[in-house]
Amino acid sequence: MSQARILIVEDEDIIRASLRRLLERSDYSVSEAGSVQEAEQNNNFGEFSLIISDLRLPGESGTELISRATGVPVLIMTSYASLNSAVSAMKLGAVDYIAKPFDHEEMLQRVGEIVACREKELGAALASSEGADQEKPCDDGEEGFCGIIGRHPAMRQLFNRIGKVAPTDATVLIQGESGTGKELVARAIHENSQRRSGTMISVNCAAIPETLIESELFGHEKGSFTGATAARTGLIEAANGGTLFLDEIGELPLEAQARLLRVLQEGEIRRVGSIQSQKVDVRLIAATHRNLHQLSSETKFREDLYYRLKVVELRIPPLRERGSDILLLAEKLLQRTCEKMDKPLYAFSPEAMVAISQHPWPGNVRELEHAIERAVILSDDNIVTPENLDIETRVRQILFKSDANELQDGLTLEDYFQRFVLEHQDQMTETELAQKLGISRKTLWERRQRLGIPRKKANS
């Protein structure tokens, strides 16, 4: 495989030289420029696997490279003082952003993921270029795929795999933590399959009582058990010709697992209380947040069913592993929530954006969505603060420690605080400044004292 080529666009010589040495030690071929104009004059963008550019450059902004280097991923370097601009860069099509000063290991990891994803996309495009063109029922836009928002390389890889497996009839096992969007992935597979004109039926196995699960899935005959006053079609039969999505399949009882295995092996079902089997044509997509391999070793899940399910296994990364996708998602969810509640478009305060990017989000996208909905309801105006999101305490503990062991991110935010106050205090009152920063007036005063920032004259 040829050596991946990377273009660095950075006007600070020390940073540019340091980044070049870091990348060359990892066997990348590196070119460099000090501005967008210099990069354009001296390079053919199409030769590069990745462009790494500072956001603020002399002359034109680094975001100009996104449109000029069409098809080449652009990684934007920025600082917490420019979080709003970073989100704007993502909306313009930047593949990701990384905060300065960056950790070397993190930079190499991001670069490796982006380059690998780029090479896979080029390989897939080359392989399919000889085939007939076919319109995709679910278009892959700039911000995601089939309603799934994401630009992180891990998400791009997921989208790529969905595109490959969807046209087949292969059984798919989706692995992901609660709240990551497993049903959205299942829906994307169905909408891009040959069965898209058929029905997709979704079943949460954990939500159906164990005594009813077999009847719900396979149907029953009249009189087959107490209360069965009429024959009933099961959900598998109802999905005939389409797709059946079984969420939380790890909760399926062992007896129901045996019956499901027969569906996969023989393509037929038998209703509860019936002696007759009938053929069904159903594609199965299963999902779980549990470790099915471990459950099978503990005899809590059938091993033969496990291997039948994981013909193709897709992993959805948790939100905390998706980098700048968090802010991209937050912006989109805020817009949707305001529209749903018939409110004007709200905005995140700078500190709220930092809070969102730092929070671990154990409940993933679902937790983020609920936090934003709560914030819109409780906000006194159209600015969402960390207090509205109810994640302020943790962020302040981590980012605003004032002891000798203060974190670098905290130092960066203090620099941002100082710059923001000095730039805006002539146009804003103390209340407005505190509101924009997502803090109280008392906290604003305390930071002024600690950083030696004089308060503006009290004549306004």
Say whether 109 sits in a helix, a strand or coil. helix
pLDDT tens digit sequence for 25-62: 988 999 999 999 999 998 888 889 999 999 889 999 89
pLDDT of residue 456: 62
For the ranges 48-62, 113-127, 136-150, 226-240, the one whose mean pLDDT is highest: 48-62
Say whether 449 sits in a helix, a strand or coil. helix
The C-alpha angle 166, 171, 175, rounded to 5 degrees, equals 90
Name the DSSP class of 338. Answer: H
The radius of gyration computed from the CA coordinates of the chain, to the nearest angstrom, equals: 27
Cα separation, 384 vs 356, in Å, equals 11
Does residue 441 register a pLDDT over 50? yes
pLDDT tens digit sequence for 169-210: 999 999 999 999 999 999 999 999 999 888 899 988 888 888
pLDDT tens digit sequence for 364-399: 999 999 999 999 998 888 888 888 898 744 444 444
CB 339 within 8 A of CB 375: no
Strand runs (DSSP E) across 323-414, as ranges?
Answer: 347-348, 383-384
CA distance to 84, 86, 384, per residue, from 437 (Å): 13, 17, 10
Q: Amino acid letter at 7? A: L
In total, the chain counts a number of residues equal to 460
Positive or negative, the CA dihedral 181, 359, 103, 92 is positive
Positive or negative, the CA dihedral 416, 419, 422, 427 is negative
Q: Which residues pair with 244 in a beta bridge?
A: 201, 284
pLDDT of residue 2: 59
Q: How many CB atoms lie within 10 A of CB 128?
A: 13
pLDDT of residue 438: 63
Q: pTM surpassing 0.75?
A: no
106: its two tokens: 């993190």
Does residue 288 register a pLDDT over 50? yes
pLDDT tens digit sequence for 56-86: 899 998 989 988 888 889 998 887 545 566 6
Cα separation, 54 vs 63, in Å, equals 9
pLDDT of residue 82: 55
pLDDT of residue 401: 39
Percentage, residues of the chain above pLDDT 70: 84
Q: In this predicted structure, which of 10-19, 366-375, 402-411 has the lowest mean pLDDT?
A: 402-411
Q: How many CB atoms lie within 10 A of CB 378?
A: 13
pLDDT tens digit sequence for 301-352: 999 999 999 889 999 999 999 888 898 899 999 999 999 899 998 988 888 8
Positive or negative, the CA dihedral 375, 377, 379, 381 is positive
CB 192 within 8 A of CB 146: yes
Positive or negative, the CA dihedral 181, 182, 183, 184 is positive
Cα separation, 373 vs 62, in Å, equals 33
Percentage, residues of the chain above pLDDT 90: 36
pLDDT of residue 257: 93
Cα separation, 181 vs 317, in Å, equals 10
Cβ contacts of residue 439 below 8 Å, gap of 6+? 351, 385, 447
pLDDT of residue 1: 45
Q: Amino acid letter at 278? A: Q
pLDDT of residue 35: 94
pLDDT of residue 129: 47
Domains of the chain, start order? 5-127 (3.40.50.2300), 144-315 (3.40.50.300), 325-451 (1.10.8.60)
Say whether 241 sits in a helix, a strand or coil. coil
Cβ contacts of residue 382 below 8 Å, gap of 6+? 343, 344, 345, 346, 347
Strand runs (DSSP E) across 289-402, as ranges?
Answer: 312-315, 347-348, 383-384
